Amino acid sequence: MLPDFPQSKREIRKRLVQLTERLEREKAPLLAEIKGFIQHEGKVHSYDRIKADPVTEGFEEIAIPVTIELSEMPDLVGEKLFAKIDALADQVARKRMEMFYQKFTEVTREVGNALDAQGAPLTPEMIFEMLERVDMEFGPDNQPTFRFNTTPELAKVFEGFQDDAAFRAKYEELLNRKRDAWRNRESNRKLVD
């Protein structure tokens, strides 16, 4: 009988899981910014939403098949192991991003924050219409804490708008109104003992 090394196996497993999670965060940086928590019990979770009813729902499983051929085993170390883990992290990141965008689309439509351009090119008016629909929060530097998540092509279009003085003036005016509304919400917020 071959010897078993349970502590070593647990430590190797722990490190491989940590590496996979780190690589996944690198491949899906948007998801890495979203605060998460571990729920140890229960089959459902619930959360409150602004301008919509609270939600109680079950969990969605992410299952990625992992196959290791017997012939791979003797050489599955170093770069080969890293490549295998990198591919796994890529699959998990892609699946989680698909789930994120699906849920994001669903909830923005439900609360009325979705804007369908119906294939039309992005315009400054569309940007202002989108920004008017959402509540904004601001950081200690008085700058908005939101960020645009878009394609590189749309990012270039948006950057082009920022070169226009009229666009910047209207954008600053919108931010000032949103900042005042945020301060008003914060100052009227009920604090819990």
For residue range 143-153, what is the model confidence (pLDDT) as tens digits? 999 887 788 88
DSSP 8-class letter at 77: S
What percent of the chain is modeled with pLDDT above 90?
A: 40
Position 42 pLDDT exceeds 70: yes
Q: Strands 52-58 and 44-49: what pairing? A: antiparallel
Rounded Cα gap, residues 77 and 83, in angstroms: 10
Strand residues in 8-146 grouped as ranges (E): 44-49, 52-58
**Residue 41 structure tokens:** 């019990």
Report pLDDT for 193: 58
**Residue 2 structure tokens:** 């071959």
Count Cβ neighbours within 10 Å for each residue of 91-114 and write b for 16 or more, e otherwise: bbbebbeeeeeeeeeeeeeeeebe
**What are the boundaries of each domain within the chain?**
12-32+43-111, 124-187
pTM surpassing 0.75?
Answer: no
pLDDT tens by residue, 108-166: 888 888 888 888 988 999 999 989 988 889 999 989 998 877 888 888 988 899 899 99
Rounded Cα gap, residues 92 and 73, in angstroms: 23
Report pLDDT for 21: 92
Position 167 pLDDT exceeds 70: yes
Phi-psi region of 7 (alpha: psi -120 to 50; beta: other; left: phi over 0): alpha
DSSP 8-class letter at 41: S
Could you tell me which residues come within 8 angstroms of residue 18 by beta carbon, excluding any fewer than 6 positions away?
Answer: none
Least confident of 45-54, 67-76, 121-130: 45-54
